[in-house]
Structure 1
């Protein structure tokens, strides 16, 4: 959707001037450089006219061949862990104006609609879910040049994004996030550094089990490898995180570490086994012409699983039970420094070194 509030918040990605409606056309126009921006698809295309050399693989169709972006099911497993931590750290609520930086298909916005916060999503990839397009303000834009007015958002979140950026791109992104936040505003992030703690040995053991299961034909991890193939992992360790955050105008106010040992077992082994079984069953029901498409069975299995989760019932509550067990990772290892982490970055009320 395109709300009146969105019109007031957006800026031209090229010259930073305000935008206005372009007459009766489904577009907006920059009031200074007169460039027009399409909004006919239900989201506003505010990509800069100059393309950055560094681009994410999430722009490639192959990464979306399993159609996971097409629908939004209730959060379970790792998605539930991340969303629960988001709510615990950021506490979104009525009156908050929030920007989701790297919103993907918009699912976190939909999951948090009931909080009453006004959330706007920005992503460089146009694979938004129809449900998100219908109910949320969405922008197709680059996080390194946010097409948004300065100091307009109380809070922001960015999930599974920072590890896809080089260090220069990460610094550009964080500085832009700082710019659009009000003084005292907060940014919640989930990402990881390269240096792992001792609990990572358990995660590696589970991943070796998953590789064995794949060799035996019990699971298929090709899509997951493709999705992680552009991980750059720019942050070396948590000291590096704090230096980069400070360089971008943030203080690391709070951090919880996440070593998903139990989580890796459920997500990389058990869930993948179920998905493999459902994919094979779905492939047998497909027409002969579609059966030659290797991803067709996975797409049908995901659509079926998402529909069943939305209806509730045995599958949904089984996944909720597994999610509860996965929270043991936070209870047991949440204070042990390791690669993956949840953090709250705070923009000070006054610039570093300035008057308080």
Structure 2
């Protein structure tokens, strides 16, 4: 059972004690007597009695977002998620002995996609919107990144994909300090996030955005699901200097940086994929009055995108024509990194290291 592999890494998130033992009700802390429930596929390690000023919408609106996020079934690592994952794997250079933390894992898709590359893959998130595959392939903890339930130096590597832009600055500082604490000396962390800075080639990127807006005005598709997903983006680290300063405060040294100037990516996401979504997301049959009365209706764009994604997933066998086409598009999107990755802009991958001394 994967959860059991967590036990040697754990400390109590409430009192920091490592004197933990399993009993019928769950994981018991001998220091503060908190009992942490063990569920099917994950363990609840949220600190007892903690009150935070900032709480993610994925926690407060978890039940409401569950259907909209369509998180239970994972597709292969393709398109923008595929670019993120290929870059994650390339920069962190996973080893078969590595103990790795996906800190703020969400569905834990990146953890699942890389679990076979490492000795132990751990996913941590305060919400429990874990994919079905993650529940069986990743050691999962429901945990708050401001008080991680892991002992000092427990991990060789860690990563944070699409996390930092959600947090106010004081939460970012605590998140990064905790990330540094659980890394061993010489351990590395990869973060992907974005600031408010525009790309030097923004006028070219905006051509695709303008074409996309024409299709939106024509009623062909919309970006309502994407807008909701990004509705809590704070981008407290507004400039690249802010990013470097935040990692410096946490004691993490930059090793490599790649910027994502999204010329090809924006063309794919605002035109190619949205047109495909509009075609595939059409209803095959009308919704009956009885069915529509039973459930809270989703916005048309959200429902259409979910239908399209589910239909595509059924055809994503490795080697299938749809898979090969999306793989080719993924590689085209990755050209943004290879051609323009040196050019400072808002979106960035940063690899950092915890000093050995």
Q: Same fold (TM over 0.5)?
A: yes
Task: Answer yes or no: is the 8 Å Cα contact 1:99–1:119 preserved in 2.
Answer: yes
SS at 1:145's partner residue? coil
Q: Are residues 19 and 307 of structure 1, via their aligned partners in 2, closer, same or farther at CA, if it must alter by over 3 Å?
A: farther
* Equivalent position to 2:261, from 252, 259, 262: 259
Q: For the Cα contact (< 8 Å) 1:44–1:138, is it kept in 2?
A: yes
Q: CA deviation at 1:194?
A: 1.6
> Of 318, 321, 324, which aligns to 2:328?
321
Contact 1:22–1:36 (8 Å) recurs in 2: no
Listed one character per residue, the Cα deviations across residues 312-344 of structure 1 (whole Å, up to 9, x for unaligned) are: 522211111111211221122111011101110
Counterpart of 1:232 in 2: which secondary structure?
A: coil
Alignment of 1:29-48 (within 5 A): 29-48=28-47
Partner of 1:217: 219
Deviation of the 1:64 alpha carbon: 3.6
Aligned partner of 1:245 in structure 2 is 247
**How many residue pairs were aligned?**
348
- The reply to whether residue 15 of structure 1 matches residue 22 of structure 2 is no
Q: Secondary structure at the match of 1:3?
A: helix
Superposed counterparts of 1:136-155, under 5 Å: 136-155=138-157
Map of 2:110 onto structure 1: 108
82 and 343 in structure 1: CA distance in 2 versus 1, 3 angstrom threshold: same
Determine if the alignment matches structure 1 residue 198 to structure 2 residue 200.
Answer: yes
Displacement of 1:118 in angstroms is 1.3
1: CA distance between counterparts of 2:145 and 2:204? 34
The equivalent position to 1:157 in structure 2, one of 149, 156, 159, is: 159
Q: Distance in 1 between matches of 2:303 and 2:238?
A: 39
Residues 122-131 or 262-271, more deviating = 262-271
CA gap 1:70/1:286 in 2 versus in 1, 3 angstroms: farther
- Out of 243-252 and 40-49, give the one that drifted further: 40-49
Q: What is the CA-CA distance between 1:291 and the residue it aligns to?
A: 5.0
Q: Do residues 344 (structure 1) and 346 (structure 2) align?
A: no
Aligned partners of 1:36, 1:305: CA distance in 2, in Å? 43
C-alpha distance in 2, partners of 1:273/1:234?
Answer: 33
RMSD between superposed Cα atoms in Å:
1.9
Query: Structure 2: any 5+ residue segments left out of the alignment?
Result: none
Residue 33 (structure 2) pairs with residue 28 (structure 1): no
Kindly indicate whether the alpha-carbon contact (under 8 Å) linking 2:2 and 2:136 is maintained by their aligned counterparts in 1: no
Contact 2:3 2:140 in 1 (8 A): no
Deviation at 1:175, TM superposition (A): 0.2
Does the Cα contact within 8 Å between 2:75 and 2:313 map onto a contact in 1? Answer: yes
Which of 231, 234, 245 is the equivalent residue of 1:232? Answer: 234
| Post-superposition CA distance 1:168-188 (Å, at most 9, x none) | 110000000000001111110
Report what 1:335 is aligned to. Answer: 342
1:63·1:226 contact (CA, 8 Å) conserved in 2?
A: no
SS of equivalent to 1:308: coil
Does the Cα contact within 8 Å between 2:125 and 2:141 map onto a contact in 1? yes
SS at match of 2:150: coil
The superposition leaves residues 137-171 of structure 1 with CA deviations (integer Å, 9 ceiling, x where unpaired) of 01111111111111111110110001101111100
The 1:127/1:312 distance shift into structure 2, 3 A limit, reads: farther
Deviation for aligned residue 1:217:
1.4
Tell me the residue number matched to 2:78.
76
Q: Deviations over 1:208-242 (max 9, x none)?
A: 32222112111121010000011111112222221
Q: Equivalent residue of 1:112, what SS?
A: helix
Q: 1:186 to 1:254 in 2, by over 3 A?
A: same
Greater Cα shift, 155-164 or 233-242? 233-242
Change (3 A) 1:117 1:14: same
- Report if the CA contact (8 A) 1:67-1:302 is conserved: no
TM-score where L is the length of structure 1:
0.92
Candidates 76, 86, 89, aligned match of 2:91: 89
Distance (Å, rounded) in 2 between the aligned partners of 1:93 and 1:349: 19
> Does the 8 Å contact 1:96/1:155 carry over to 2?
yes
Question: Is the alpha carbon distance of 1:72 and 1:19 closer, same or farther for their aligned partners in structure 2, counting shifts above 3 Å?
Answer: farther
